[in-house]
Amino acid sequence: MLMTTRKNSIYLVSGIFFLAGLSLLWMSYSDRPQPELAPVKFDGLRAYQDVLHQTALGARLPDSEAHKQARLWIRAELEAAGWQVEEQVFEALGHQGYNIIAYRDNAPAKILFGAHYDSRIYADHDPDVDKRKQAVLGANDGASGVAVQLELARSIPLENESVWLVFFDLEDNGNLPTWDWILGSRAFVDGYALNPDAVIILDMIGDADLNIYLERNSNPELREEIWAAAKELGYENNFINTEKFSMLDDHTPFVEAGYPAVDVIDFDYPYWHTTGDTADKVSAESLGIVGETMLAWLKNRH
């Protein structure tokens, strides 16, 4: 009985010293400045791999197998990055389209990024007349915007919950029989109750010779914010603070509905709607410049 009591006393004293040591260790650790988690950075090289993947599928023409595979792949990449995804199936001018919408929770979109993923049926601007009935591969005109948005999905900080990423269908076949431009973005604006603070369309932003001018139909205040963010990063030679083009693009339905929207586009692209719009005309550096600018702009807004 005595030995047992003594043993229990020894265990009790040992336990007290052990707990005291743990407490001192925790106090010492908690007093130290804790390292911050490094933010996930936009990876232009990974975005370029996404351009290569899309072009390897082929031209993403409406109703084609490449178009279907692109949809499935975009959805899978978004879900792997932790986003909820839904499809808006719509009819326009006798054609069926599929907008892909990604968000992190069910809160309404405050900031919306958009890009189209379809490509053009005919290369009607090709300098070679014999090639004008061929499809456009759309490495820059389509795949570049998709690639940047997918990399944004992987790198936007978690606190930016009210960001939506929308991948528009049926954008690129205007001036062709039975078609018109921007059918997907029009269907989206018509089909969703929206009140975004900012809409940014990314289109043709992978050109290796990147020159993004101010688009005239875009919201002036929002343009100024984005171009200022680019300048802070040293990209003022790529985001040129001069107006040049007036575009009908996926920002147009948002502008018409009264939402602040900007078209981020490099329309000085000699391969637009030609068979030459291939991945070798796109650069990882250009994709990185645009992606980093979007992340910097987002950070400045918070």
pLDDT (tens digit, 0 to 9) for every residue of the chain, 302 residues total?
334 333 344 343 344 444 444 344 334 433 444 433 445 689 999 999 999 999 999 999 999 999 999 999 999 999 999 999 999 999 999 999 999 999 998 889 999 999 999 999 999 999 999 999 999 999 999 999 999 999 999 999 988 779 999 999 999 999 999 999 999 999 999 999 999 999 999 999 999 999 999 999 999 999 999 999 999 999 999 999 999 999 999 999 999 999 999 999 999 999 999 999 999 999 999 999 999 999 999 999 87
On whether both 53 and 192 belong to a single domain, the answer is yes
pLDDT for the residue 102: 98
On whether both 79 and 24 belong to a single domain, the answer is no
On whether both 185 and 61 belong to a single domain, the answer is yes
CATH of the domain at 282: 3.40.630.10
On whether both 87 and 29 belong to a single domain, the answer is no
| Rounded CA separation 295/41 (Å) | 9
pLDDT for the residue 301: 86
Q: What does pTM read for this prediction?
A: 0.87
On whether both 225 and 285 belong to a single domain, the answer is yes
On whether both 6 and 122 belong to a single domain, the answer is no
Q: What is the domain extent for residue 22?
A: 1-35
On whether both 231 and 160 belong to a single domain, the answer is yes
- Count of domains for the chain: 2
Exposed e or buried b per residue across 7-31, where buried means at least 16 C-beta atoms within 10 angstroms of its C-beta: eeeeeeeeeeeeeeeeeeeeeeeee
Half-sphere exposure of 259 (CA within 13 A, CB side): 24
On whether both 58 and 152 belong to a single domain, the answer is yes
On whether both 19 and 92 belong to a single domain, the answer is no
Please state, in angstroms and as integers, the Cα–Cα distance from residue 54 to each residue in 57, 133, 275, 279, following that order. 5, 21, 15, 9
pLDDT for the residue 159: 81
pLDDT for the residue 15: 46
